[in-house]
Structures are given as C-alpha cells and as structure tokens.
Amino acid sequence: MIAVLPPPWGDVVTVVGTVVVAMVLFGLTVAAHEFGHFWAARRMGLVVERFAIGFGPKIYGKVIDGVEWQINLLPLGGFVQLPQMSPAEGLEGKPGEEHKDLPPASPGAKIITAFAGPLASLALGVVCAVGVWILGVPTNLTYRTTTIGWVEPGSPAAQAGILPGDKILAIDGQRPERWAGRPGAVVESILLGIDHEILLELDRDGAEIVTARVRPEPDPELEGLRRLGFEMYPAQPARVDQVIEGGPAARAGILPGENLVSVDGAKIWNPAAVKAAVESGQESLAIGVEDSQGNVRIVNLRPEQALNRKERMIGVVWRPSDIRITRPTPQEQVSSAAGLVFRTLRALVAPASNVGVQHLSGPLGIFERLVSLLQTDPRLVLYFSVILNVNLAVLNLLPIPVLDGGHILFSLVEAVRRRTLQAKTVERIQTAFVILLAGFFLLVTYHDSLRLKRRMDKPAESTEMPVFRPAPEKK
C-alpha cells in the first residue's frame, strides 16, 4: 500500500525528500573525487590518516583499517589527510603523533596521488554522460536557432541597427551553432565575452550580410553581466495554445493552434513582438493569423485590460517551446563542460569582462540548483552532474596551493631540485592560501545566499486566467 499524504504534509515530505537526495548527490560527487586520492595513495604505499566529507567540526566518525572516516559540519568539499604529502593543517587538522615522523613521499607518488582526484571526477563525469546519452535529456528546440526573435527598444542592439529576423552568422569571428546551452552559443558568447565591443556578422533576409559593432551594457537583473538586448528572445513562432473566453482574440475568431505572423504589417519573429505592440497603447492592432492550412487572414484587435489584471492584453496563452529528448554523445557533453570552465576562467581575468565572483556558484548555489533540477526532471540532474564533475576536475588542477594542482606544482619543483621543500615554507604558503580560499568560499556563498533570497522574495507569477468584461449584447 502507498500512502499519499494530503497537503501541506505531502508537499513538506516531497521537499524534504528532494533536499535529502540533493545532499546525497552532492556528497557522492565530493566522495568520488576524494576516493580517487585515497585509492592512489594506498597504491603508492602512502599512509592515509583520515577520509573526510566536509570541513569543520566532526559530526560522525569511525575508524576502519587504520583510517578515520568522518563527516564534518560544513559541506564545502572534502579531503583525504595524507601526512606524507604537503601539510594542510588549516583544512585537515594536525596529523596524529604516530605519523609525525613518517618519511615524505616521493615526488612521483605525490603527483600520482594528487592527479587521481581530478581523474576520478572526470571518470564520474563520463559515467554520468553515458547515462545522459542512454536516457536522453529534455532539450528546448528553440535554442537550436541563431536567428534573433526580438530586439528591446533602446537597447545596445537596437541602437546598432540590429533587427528581429537577423540571423547571427558570427560573434567576434566565431560561428555559433545554437542560441544557448553550450560554450560558443549566442548567449554564452555575449555573457562571457572579454572585449569592450562585440562584432556581429548578420544575415538579413538572405539578401545581404550586415556587420555591427555593439558595446554591451551591464544587466542589473543578471548582476551586471553583459547584455545586448536580444538574448532572451530567440526566433520562435507566436503559436496560440489557449484563447481566453470573452477576450479580444476570442471575439476576433482566433483559434488554438493558429500562429500570429504579423502585427501592423511587421513580421512576428517572437511572441515578445505581440506583447510590445499591445503595451504600446495603440487602440487597434492589425494581426496576421495563419491557420493550420497555411492560409493567412488579417484581424483587427482592440487590446483590453482584464478585470483581474493591470496590463492590457489580447486574451491568448502562448504554446510553450517545443521540448524534445535529445541524446548528446559523452564526448560532446564532456568537451562542452570543459569549454565552459575555460571560457569562464578567461572571462574572470579579462579586464573588459563583467564576469566576477558574484556570478560564480559555490556549494550553496550548486545544492540549490540540484534541488531545482530534481523537481523538474531527474535526467537534468544527470546532465548537470556531468558539468559539475568536469568543473571539479578542471578547477582542482589549477596550480594553486591547497588544490590538487598546487600539490602537483610543489612536487614538480621537488623533482627538479631533487630535494624536499622545507616543510615550514610549504606550511606557510598553504596556510596563506587556506585563508584566501576560506574568504573566497565565504564571498561566493554570500552571493549564493543573496541570489537565493531574491528568488524567494520574488512574487510568484499569477496562474489565474484573465477574466474579461462580457461583450454587450447586440440588440
């Protein structure tokens, strides 16, 4: 028997269950990375003192085969404590007395052990990618276009003369293959651009090639990321899903399934064009309507304010974007995720880029994203796990002390010098970067919490259907 709890307890159980699953998934990602270090260290004959998920005070711990396995309070990552590697007491604590006099590991053993963590993350990413390839992932087909659907009036794109219907052939010399969702796509190229201006090459009506230099402006809604004014509007049909009873569209004879193809003689490339025309204040609009047979007729609509809404409208509900199950290959997924990491890192250090620490996500942001995707479609979690694990692999290989790349760098220096680095020197460097890393995590978590608060404070969009004033009866 399956018991279904009534609201609100059913909702509470669902939310709690989703949060628990997200915590387990995040913990598995960290555990896989650390297990790579653990496995390699054991194979290299190194002493493993502690395997920990999280930092800070211990919540749970148990000693098995000489290794203390523990879960700590702060779920910001994890570590494997190896007394024979470079010390990192600021994160891992001091080694036990019985391990203080162990001989240091050879540079080769250190390099293999340090590299094994990112390799394990990459391997888990590939496994997740194979899962996505087999199960498929929901994909917005609208994002396959590179044609602009709408340009916001007064935006940088509008000032540069860019028009709805223009097809983007190249952005700064690079050809985009889709609108969004991958490195090199239209939206990602704009957001992660590193120059003061963006050079666009456009195909206008198939008759001429137009070039436009556009200087992006910061978007307050995206925490200052760059915008041109068309990123939210790829070309897509203005297809009617529902017609509200008693509204202007219903009175004009518009039917569900029909497309609105023009407004006052201008072609509609995105439903945003209809909304802009309605909000312009015009008393009447000449709308071109295409039926299922491809026949087009012109109807005159007078936008009205619904009784339960503040804005004017014509009384239609647009059909959602087409979502299909696609199966990108594991190679496509992994290379796409790695490309996104490198483009983001490049944008972070580029002076002309608007990308900053406030746009990154730490454990809180990642966890919130996992919860959101679990509530939408579990297959999206698998796809996100590919990105997450590839990120973990690449970022940990950066040559920064405390990270795996830092251990590899120190070991390479030891190999070249043919003698061990002074423990005090390494410890001072490690401690300094532990403090910097902790500050960085706090800053990223602060911005994650601000984003989460804004989402929670944002009023939910009304799902109530508009109600129109009944038309007067004809005498």
pLDDT digits (tens, 9 = 90+) for 134-170: 999 998 888 999 999 999 999 999 999 999 999 999 9
77 in Cβ contact with 85 (< 8 Å) = no
Rounded mean pLDDT, 38-48: 92
Please provide the average confidence, as pLDDT, over all residues in the chain: 85
144: its two tokens: 């396959």
What is residue 461's predicted lDDT score, i.e. its pLDDT?
Answer: 56
Residue with the two structure tokens 């698998």: 382
pLDDT in tens, 47-56: 899 998 887 8
Answer yes or no: is pLDDT of 332 > 90. yes
Angle between the N-to-C axes of helices 363-376 and 423-457, in degrees from 0 to 180, rounded to the nearest 10: 40
What pTM, to 2 d.p., does this model score? 0.82
Is the backbone peptide bond immediately before 378 cis, with ω within 30 degrees of 0?
Answer: no
* Domains in the chain: boundaries: 9-136+368-457, 140-233, 238-320
pLDDT band, residue 2 (cuts 50/70/90) = very low
For 249-293, what is each residue's pLDDT tens digit? 999 999 999 999 999 999 999 999 999 999 888 889 999 999 989
Phi and psi at residue 273, to the nearest 5°: -65, -35
Residue 240 backbone phi and psi in degrees, to 5: -80, 125
The answer, yes or no, to whether residue 4 has pLDDT greater than 70, is: no
Hey, do 140-233 and 238-320 end up sharing a CATH topology, with the first three levels equal? yes
Architecture category of domain 140-233 in CATH? Roll (2.30)
CA distance 22 to 184: 29
Closest to 437 in 3D by CA, of 463, 398, 475: 398
**What average pLDDT does this structure show over 366-394?**
90
How confident is the model at residue 10, as a pLDDT? 44
Give me the pLDDT at residue 90, please: 41
For residue range 224-258, list pLDDT tens digits in order: 788 899 999 999 999 999 999 888 999 999 999 99
Query: Once rounded to an integer, what is the mean pLDDT over residues 15-39?
Result: 84
Note whether 238 and 270 are within 8 A (CB): yes
Which has the higher per-residue pLDDT, 99 or 342? 342
Q: Identify the pLDDT of residue 9.
A: 40
Q: What CATH class has 238-320? A: mainly beta
**Predicted pLDDT at 333:** 95
For the chain, the first-to-last Cα distance in angstroms comes to 61
Of 248, 163, 255, the closest CA to residue 202 belongs to 163
Instruction: Give residue 95's pLDDT band: very low, low, confident or very high (50, 70, 90).
Output: low
| Better pLDDT: 78 or 38 | 38
What was the pLDDT predicted at 150?
95
pLDDT category at 471 given cuts 50, 70, 90 is low
Higher local confidence (pLDDT), 160 or 362? 160
* pLDDT computed for residue 87 by the predictor: 54
- Both tokens assigned to 13: 């159980």
Rg (the chain; Cα; Å): 28
